[in-house]
Amino acid sequence: MKSTRPEQQDSQLNIFRLLRIARDKKVKDLAQELSVTPAYINAIENGERFPSDRLLRDYAQALGVSVETISNFKPKDIPNRKFENVLLSLLQMICDADK
């Protein structure tokens, strides 16, 4: 499982974590579905790792979104990510409201 190390992200604004919560999936269950360890899912959700292309495709399928949806939130060397952060904040509020 080859992956690159992205810029550190705020775990509250991590698209992988928020989509998993929105889909009401537990880390353990998602890890099993993707044939990875729960620790690897946690590393992705904490912004310490980014999935390989294959895992990204499987991740998107498991979460019911397109790869492009997730890729739009991939850390990039763009200083102003305000729009993406607003969208992630909205998704965070939706996830929190379901709890």
Is 2 contained in some domain?
A: no
Q: Is the pLDDT of residue 22 over 70?
A: yes
SS3 at position 20: helix
CB 63 within 8 A of CB 19: yes
**Domain of 81: which CATH number?**
1.10.260.40
Q: What is the DSSP string of 22-51?
A: HTT--HHHHHHHHTS-HHHHHHHHTTS---
pLDDT tens digits, one per residue of 55-74: 999 999 999 998 988 887 76
| % pLDDT > 70, the chain | 72
**Distance of alpha carbon 75 from alpha carbon 22, whole angstroms:** 21
Mean pLDDT to the nearest integer, 19-41: 94
Q: Quick check: pTM over 0.85?
A: no
Domain that residue 55 falls in: 11-97
